[in-house]
Structure 1
């Protein structure tokens, strides 16, 4: 497994070099009218770095460009998603074109994933950190 410092450095580099679509979603997520739906961008989880992560709901949002439809990349994405889901995370994916064409629909889907329905009232999402046991 890759060391924590290497994963953090990779995440930091990715945050510094975000795509236009990632910047668009990040700005919109920050304006999401919800209480406690804190998102992180380019967050290291296991040996991966995910695009966006809401720790309180264990929700991961991935943005995919056209190269993600290529066979090798699509297989890696599927393997990565299976690993994340086996670890208890929920992963939702959006194509960059979905974000460009209908940002409102993307945000509604994210809201539903966070709260269960479009009509649900916002609630405080508490993030419970895992405590490391002393060795």
Structure 2
């Protein structure tokens, strides 16, 4: 796959759009802190596709992916899928941060500090 074909693949457009409309409350809260270059002037996108994956948040300048996970990610199958997905994306050169919904709700400053530290 060519590098210019990694992002925003057309066949995922409908999925990306639907996911933007159905953000979880934790994603909405984190997005309010990331949007409009609010965090250190970095531009983030939400529900951005890379390869055949749709990631919650993506900062192109830092090659940083941020995932916000709820209890649906706790099953052994989901953990295995997340691990495979993370490995694939890391092999493409992306850095990945994962936060639990509870962290976003209860420890937002810590979440933002961890994101800044990855810049």
Partner of 1:129: none
- Tell me the CA shift for residue 32 of structure 1: 2.8
1:14 aligns with 2:19: yes
- Alpha-carbon distance in structure 1 between the residues aligned to 2:17 and 2:108: 26
Give the TM-score taking structure 1 as reference length.
Answer: 0.78
Q: How does 1:10-49 map to 2 (within 5 A)?
A: 10-30=15-35, 32-35=38-41, 37-49=42-54
Aligned to 2:116: 111
Higher fraction of helix: 2
Aligned residue among 78, 95, 101 for 1:73: 78
2:56: which partner in 1? 51
User: What CA RMSD, in Å, does the superposition of the two structures yield over aligned residues?
Assistant: 1.7
How many aligned residue pairs are there? Answer: 112
Deviations, residues 13-66 of structure 1 (Å, cap 9, x unaligned): 10011111100000011263422x100000000000000000001000001001
Q: Aligned partners of 2:55, 2:114: CA distance in 1, in Å?
A: 18
Structure 1 portions without partners, runs of 5+: 115-135
Q: TM-score, normalised by structure 2?
A: 0.88
Q: Are 2:101 and 1:96 equivalent residues in the alignment?
A: yes
Q: Specify every segment of 5 or more residues in structure 2 that has no aligned partner in the other structure, as ranges.
A: 2-7
